[in-house]
Amino acid sequence: MKKLMIGALAIAAGLMTSVSAHAADPVTLQLKWVTQAQFAGYYVAKEKGFYEAEGLDVTIKPGGPDIAPEQVIAGGGADIITTWMPAALASREKGVPLVNIAQPYKKSGMMLTCRKDTGIKSPDDFKGKTLGVWFYGNEYPFLAWMAKLGLSTEGGPNGVTVLKQGFNVDPLIQKQADCISTMTYNEFGQVLDAGIPESELIVFKYEDQGVATLEDGLYVMEDKLKDPAFVEKMAKFVRASMKGWDYARANTDEAAKIVLENDETGAQTEAHQKFMMGEVNKLTEGSNGKLDEADYTRTVKTLLSAGGEAPVITKEPTGAWTHAVTDAAGLK
């Protein structure tokens, strides 16, 4: 009898272990940039147990200036990545078949921030000026905007001089550039923190200029979507992630603190993360995770209008997005 009980307990333990192992389905997410409130929804989803409730074991890999998410996922280093749609579509055209499966960000936070003492009052005043621009895939919306304005990016009195901007605001502070690229939720706050009051600045939001492109979408490799099990796993991931974003909007300060707890570099500050969280919430508001086809079409139209010697994309993409995952997640 004793042996039977031990055997039964062993079988039960084995079944529990099997169920646990099956439940902890691993997912690796590669972020576009370093740990900050820009990605709060994912850190919140992990901290609050939303991924665990879906039976997922999620690893979040921070990005950085030397990390290209598109290359990471192409090399098998991640199951899913966050990136901006211009970079994703450019990569797709170059042979890395990325597919947008969800779009937590509804609006673009990108803008050009200029000193008023440069005399710039409107985009008409950009001629002959030096503009700071991020590269590594972030330059695409800027190039599309300049093309729309008919401005050369090769300098000269009828064009603009492009300063390859680092991921800081030094060129504006040190007056190396008349304008620099900033995000509403990050670098703009850094400019203010550096002592330049908002009254001495003029900003041009890409949304207002009609050249906004989608940012911080979720992308996977196209061939993976042929596997129903992978689609289901991604549906669980997206569903839990959107719960994280909903929670972050409702609990801004707590979300900022969760981000700070996950910042292994110690570079972030609570004040800046709270500022960032408040601004990021404005960009994710209005999205349930499902890509709006009209937003996709606008992004593609903007990129195709760029033209030039090194166009972002040269033709209308096909198969670059799907609702299969968000539909499976019940995000209607």
pLDDT at 11 over 80: no
Domain boundary among 209, 234, 253: 209
248 shares a domain with 185: no
Question: What integer best gives the mean pLDDT of the chain?
Answer: 91
Average pLDDT, integer, range 43-60: 98
pLDDT digits (tens, 9 = 90+) for 79-109: 999 999 999 999 999 999 999 999 999 999 9
263 shares a domain with 140: no
170 shares a domain with 249: no
323 shares a domain with 257: yes
d(CA 68, CA 31): 9
Domain boundary among 190, 209, 228: 209
Q: Is 22 helix (H, G, I), strand (E, B) or coil?
A: helix
Task: Tell me whether strands 98-102 and 217-221 are parallel, antiparallel or unpaired.
Answer: antiparallel
pLDDT digits (tens, 9 = 90+) for 175-197: 999 999 999 999 999 999 999 99
pLDDT digits (tens, 9 = 90+) for 38-49: 999 999 999 999
Average pLDDT, integer, range 137-159: 87
Could you tell me the CATH number of the domain that includes residue 229?
A: 3.40.190.10
Q: Is the residue at 8 inside a domain?
A: no
> What residues form DSSP beta bridges with 221?
98
Cα–Cα distances in Å, from 265 out to 28, 38, 248?
20, 16, 22
Q: Give residue 196's domain range.
A: 110-209
DSSP per-residue letters across 65-92: TT--HHHHHHTTS-SEEEE-HHHHHHHH
**Amino acid 10: pLDDT:** 47
299 shares a domain with 162: no
